[in-house]
């Protein structure tokens, strides 16, 4: 079957959606790796490898601080059996330990950079002093140590830490510089949620990776990769390909992190079971929401509960929604353009469901009751806002103008000065033809609306990363409560890492009003 034959299989809605924007497809572009068959669609084997669970690191309490020692170093990993690729890891060859912290305590993290290049470590989702944020201004030179300290003020949830190197975040995260953070708190302890790490409370770092013909990890640097973001055709969960998890309980809590550089996922369960969403990026929702699917963009997290009481095996599966509107990574262009457009299907598009994780319960068990109420969230009141700031995301022609409000990231330019303690509405508009996950540092915000419409259940709680679809405008309500610094900025940016590296990022300082 050639590439075009596949076009008949793509869904009608996607085609209709693209009809209005077919002109954008008129660019003939070289695609990398497009000849390889999609190994996901060819389903190379059911869960054959036990899911790796990152080591749990609770640090050591010293003089009132919980202290973590993190060593970034070069590693090696087999992404395909028998073929070793160079990687980056934290206290491990690839990825790193799950850091467990408690709300209200002070933590200190000693981060040693054992690489022969600079690195940074950003605590994604945390509200903390700018000097502790781990953005591009907190460069850790080779051989140096960085020891930020801050009070954990986050609600219980799944956060993560990852490289935020200026113009080098994409390759470093791709090589493995990323790992989970669990924040726990009293609010969660009072609920009867599964919380035994590695047993019924499991972090899932979902990543796609591209391998070259020899089976080595490949990070393409071409125009296509910059425009669409680097997307692979093999799925790894916590670094495990074709992963299976042997469950020993009737109720399983999965904390899912989309740790991919650019790929969006629509997760669901095989056989169409429902899953209960209990948390968004920055904490528990008010109550569980039963859903059949959920979309996560890079940087976003969620937590779901899965009922395994029947004792039957099932799979967490996903499709990869097309996050562009007829751009060069889109599929089926030939259907619209009668073959004149010279575009080929990108083999890293994945329209059909693929397996992310197989789950094998050991036995049937009594059904567990879910708590009806999870967390008290303050009422969402946009009238609190004293001003509105607008951010327009754009890509320019051919991705040459990755920008926010017309400007590309400049380390020497502070784009916004935000008074501390004042509620604001941040209005994020997408002028490009591709969806972007917009991430704001030092914030947990609430979503007011999307093009005036109420957000879906996953977006009713606290968020730090939000999908903005093409031609969409998303309004966020937020406030920076402390940590002023007139000179040292925080970032806001697209979390498609190649877009971030190419300049779809800006800087803000929090100042005394
Ligand atoms: Cu983007």
Look up the pTM and report it: 0.88
Neighbours of ion ligand 1 (CB under 5 A): 436, 494, 496, 499
Cβ contact 237:160 at 8 Å: no
Query: How far away, in angstroms, is 111 Cα from ligand 1 center?
Result: 29
Region 397-409 average pLDDT: 85
Query: How far away, in angstroms, is 401 Cα from ligand 1 center?
Result: 11
Query: How far away, in angstroms, is 299 Cα from ligand 1 center?
Result: 12
SS (H, E, C) 385-425: CCEEEEEEEECCHHHCCCEECCECCCCCCCCEEEECCCCEE
Query: How far away, in angstroms, is 12 Cα from ligand 1 center?
Result: 25
C-alpha dist (Å) from residue 352 to 8, 10, 42:
13, 9, 11
Rounded distance between C-alpha atoms, residue 83 and residue 79, angstroms: 7
Query: How far away, in angstroms, is 2 Cα from ligand 1 center?
Result: 30
Query: How far away, in angstroms, is 137 Cα from ligand 1 center?
Result: 21
C-alpha dist (Å) from residue 184 to 61, 156, 219, 392, 464:
16, 4, 35, 35, 18
Residue 439: pLDDT above 80?
yes
Query: How far away, in angstroms, is 197 Cα from ligand 1 center?
Result: 33
Q: What does the mean pLDDT of the chain come to?
A: 87
Residue 66: pLDDT above 60?
yes
Query: How far away, in angstroms, is 107 Cα from ligand 1 center?
Result: 32
Region 116-125 average pLDDT: 98
Least confident of 23-27, 158-162, 183-187: 23-27
Pairing label, strands 251-258, 201-211: parallel
Region 177-197 average pLDDT: 96
pLDDT of residue 290: 96
Residue 153: pLDDT above 80?
yes
Eight-state DSSP code of residue 222: S
pLDDT of residue 7: 30
Task: Label residue 322 by pLDDT band (50, 70, 90).
Answer: confident
pLDDT of residue 325: 57
Residue 5: pLDDT above 80?
no
pLDDT of residue 396: 84
| C-alpha 460: how far from chain center | 18
Query: How far away, in angstroms, is 125 Cα from ligand 1 center?
Result: 18
Query: How far away, in angstroms, is 350 Cα from ligand 1 center?
Result: 19
Task: Label residue 335 by pLDDT band (50, 70, 90).
Answer: very low
Cβ contact 130:488 at 8 Å: yes
Residue 489: pLDDT above 80?
yes
pLDDT of residue 368: 85
Task: Label residue 351 by pLDDT band (50, 70, 90).
Answer: low
Query: How far away, in angstroms, is 242 Cα from ligand 1 center?
Result: 28
CA dihedral 165, 167, 168, 171 (to 10 degrees): 140
pLDDT of residue 462: 98
DSSP track, 226-255: HHH----SEEEETTEESEEEEE-SSEEEEE
- Smallest CA-to-CA distance from 397 within 23, 132, 20 is with 23
What sign for the dihedral angle of Cα 190, 192, 196, 197?
Answer: negative
Task: Label residue 48 by pLDDT band (50, 70, 90).
Answer: confident
Query: How far away, in angstroms, is 505 Cα from ligand 1 center?
Result: 9
Query: How far away, in angstroms, is 435 Cα from ligand 1 center?
Result: 7
C-alpha dist (Å) from residue 140 to 116, 143, 145:
11, 8, 7
CB neighbour class for 1 (10 Å; exposed up to 12, middle 13-18, buried from 19): exposed
- Smallest CA-to-CA distance from 139 within 163, 156, 159 is with 163
* Residues in a beta bridge with 123: 161
Task: Label residue 369 by pLDDT band (50, 70, 90).
Answer: confident
Listed in sequence order, the residues at least 6 apart from 369 whose beta carbon sits closer than 8 Å to its beta carbon are none
Query: How far away, in angstroms, is 495 Cα from ligand 1 center?
Result: 6
**Whole-number percent of the chain with pLDDT over 90:** 80
Query: How far away, in angstroms, is 394 Cα from ligand 1 center?
Result: 8
pLDDT tens for each residue of 248-265: 999 999 999 999 999 999
Query: How far away, in angstroms, is 500 Cα from ligand 1 center?
Result: 7
pLDDT of residue 457: 87
Rounded distance between C-alpha atoms, residue 40 and residue 63, angstroms: 50
Region 365-383 average pLDDT: 92
pLDDT of residue 348: 57
Query: How far away, in angstroms, is 494 Cα from ligand 1 center?
Result: 5
Query: How far away, in angstroms, is 26 Cα from ligand 1 center?
Result: 21
Rounded distance between C-alpha atoms, residue 478 and residue 493, angstroms: 16
Task: Label residue 340 by pLDDT band (50, 70, 90).
Answer: very low
Rounded distance between C-alpha atoms, residue 181 and residue 161, angstroms: 7
Query: How far away, in angstroms, is 73 Cα from ligand 1 center?
Result: 28
Residue 6: pLDDT above 80?
no
Query: How far away, in angstroms, is 323 Cα from ligand 1 center?
Result: 10
pLDDT of residue 341: 29
């Amino acid at each position: 079957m050639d590439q075009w034959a596949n076009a008949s299989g793509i869904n009608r809605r996607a085609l209709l959606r693209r009809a209005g924007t077919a002109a954008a497809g008129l660019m003939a572009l070289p695609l990398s790796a497009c000849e390889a068959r999609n190994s996901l669609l060819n389903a190379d084997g059911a869960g054959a490898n036990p899911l790796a669970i990152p080591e749990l690191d609770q640090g050591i309490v010293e003089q009132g601080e919980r202290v973590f020692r993190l060593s970034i170093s070069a590693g090696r990993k087999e992404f395909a059996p028998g073929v070793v690729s160079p990687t980056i890891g934290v206290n491990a060859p690839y990825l790193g330990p799950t850091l467990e912290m408690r709300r209200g305590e002070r933590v200190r993290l000693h981060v040693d950079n054992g690489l022969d290049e600079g690195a940074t470590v950003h605590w994604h989702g945390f509200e903390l002093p700018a000097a502790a944020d781990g953005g591009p201004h907190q460069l850790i030179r080779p051989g140096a140590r960085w020891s930020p300290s801050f009070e954990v003020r986050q609600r219980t949830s799944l956060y993560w830490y990852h490289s935020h190197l200026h113009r080098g975040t994409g390759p470093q995260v791709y090589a493995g510089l990323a790992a989970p953070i669990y924040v726990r708190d009293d609010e969660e302890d009072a609920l009867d949620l599964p919380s035994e790490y590695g047993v019924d409370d499991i972090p899932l770092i979902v990543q796609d990776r591209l391998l070259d013909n020899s089976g080595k990890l490949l990070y393409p640097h071409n125009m296509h990769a910059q425009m669409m973001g680097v997307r692979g055709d093999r799925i790894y969960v916590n670094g495990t390909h074709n992963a299976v998890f042997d469950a020993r309980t009737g109720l399983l809590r999965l904390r899912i992190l989309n740790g991919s550089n650019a790929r969006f996922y629509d997760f669901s369960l095989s056989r169409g079971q429902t899953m209960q969403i209990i948390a968004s990026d920055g904490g528990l929702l008010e109550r569980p929401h039963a859903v059949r699917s959920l979309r996560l963009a890079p940087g976003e997290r969620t937590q779901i509960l899965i009922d395994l009481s029947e004792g039957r095996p099932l799979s967490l599966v996903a499709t990869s929604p097309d996050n562009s509107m007829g751009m060069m990574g889109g599929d089926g262009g030939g259907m619209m353009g009668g073959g004149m457009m010279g575009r080929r299907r990108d083999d890293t598009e994945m329209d059909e469901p693929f397996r992310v994780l197989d789950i094998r319960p050991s036995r049937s068990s009594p059904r567990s009751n879910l708590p009806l109420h999870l967390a008290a969230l303050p009422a969402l009141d946009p009238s609190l806002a004293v001003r509105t700031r607008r951010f327009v995301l754009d890509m320019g022609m051919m991705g040459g103008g990755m920008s926010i409000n017309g400007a590309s990231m400049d380390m020497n330019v502070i784009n916004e000065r935000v008074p501390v303690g004042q509620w604001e509405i941040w209005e994020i508009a997408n002028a490009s033809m591709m969806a972007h996950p917009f991430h704001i540092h030092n914030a947990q915000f609430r979503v007011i609306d999307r093009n005036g419409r109420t957000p879906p259940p996953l977006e009713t709680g606290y968020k730090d990363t939000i999908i903005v679809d093409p031609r969409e405008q998303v309004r966020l309500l937020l406030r920076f409560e402390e940590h002023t610094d007139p000179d040292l900025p925080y970032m806001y940016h697209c979390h498609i890492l190649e877009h971030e590296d190419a300049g779809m990022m800006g800087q803000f300082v929090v100042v005394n009003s």
